[in-house]
Amino acid sequence: MAPTTPNKNVQILASSFDAFKSSFQSLKYDACSRMMSDLKFGLTGFTSLPPFCDTSIPSAAQEHMLARDILEHAVLLSVHLRDSEGFARSFTQLAVHYEACAALGSLPPSQKELPILGLNLLRLLVENRTAEFHAELELLGSDAVNSSVYIRYPVEIEQCLMEGSYAKVLALRQEAPSPECAYFLEALGNTVREELASCVETAYRSMPRADVLNMIACKPNELEELVQTRGWGVADNGSMLTFPRREANADMQTSSAEKEPQLEVISQVLAYARELERIV
């Protein structure tokens, strides 16, 4: 059997991709996951794509656009599957194709590129990879930050985190530029709540439950989970919360203060020893 032409390969894979998109729009994400594996495997037959990069073939532009579209859907699918590792893998593959498409120069830009780049910035924030976050921003440039809400949004969140304005971070969740942001914002919200809870229990001995709800900006069931996991006490028929960890922190600070004179003595002894060694 004679091998099919590159154009025929594009048609076959495009047909399979149409079936995938139909399932994706119907929210059949488990089926989409199985189909995506076949689609990615199909891309390996395109010689115009990395690592071969043979752009001299007539169907190079078609192959690049189809590959870009497939990998963009792979990234979005990983969000709906709540698969952070899958997102990272698919985004790494997609980033290579964005560069390859830009190198061709004749392809129209993807409408999904900036939203996906913004999602990746959110992922880096959630994973506390601040250095990589800023490295990605440098690559995007200030124009993208100023002109795209998808890029500006994670930048605003990062600024609030740096300022310690955790309440603003929680409020910004209502201004997400795309539904796909919800997955990363949920994880970020959990991290922020833990930080706020730590601040509350360090600053106060007790606080009315209603005030804690407002300060941490969480739902009653989320507050109950914090009460259980952080070992908070309950008083006045549940209307007050007490924070025993504050005493524990104070004990630790006292212990550290008691150790400071000992450390000073040790430092002096070591200094004397070095001086004696120099003299001898």
* pLDDT value for 261: 53
Q: What is the pTM of this model?
A: 0.75
Whether residue 278 has pLDDT greater than 60: no
Write out pLDDT tens, residues 189-201: 888 888 888 888 8
- Return left, alpha or beta for 130; rule: phi > 0 is left, psi -120 to 50 is alpha, else beta: alpha
Whether residue 19 has pLDDT greater than 50: yes
Write out pLDDT tens, residues 241-267: 998 854 444 444 444 444 455 455 545
Mean pLDDT of the chain, nearest integer: 84
* pLDDT value for 268: 55
Whether residue 48 has pLDDT greater than 90: no
Whether residue 49 has pLDDT greater than 60: yes
The size of the chain, in residues, is: 280
Whether residue 74 has pLDDT greater than 90: yes
Q: Where are the domains of the chain?
A: 11-204, 205-250
Whether residue 83 has pLDDT greater than 60: yes
* pLDDT value for 118: 96
Mean pLDDT of the region 213-224: 84
CATH fold for domain 11-204: 1.25.40
Mean pLDDT of the region 78-94: 95
Mean pLDDT of the region 219-229: 88
- C-alpha to C-alpha distance for 251 and 242, rounded to whole angstroms: 17
Q: Where are the beta strands (DSSP E) in the chain?
A: 206-208, 233-235, 240-242
Q: Is residue 104 within 8 Å of residue 55, measured between CB atoms?
A: yes
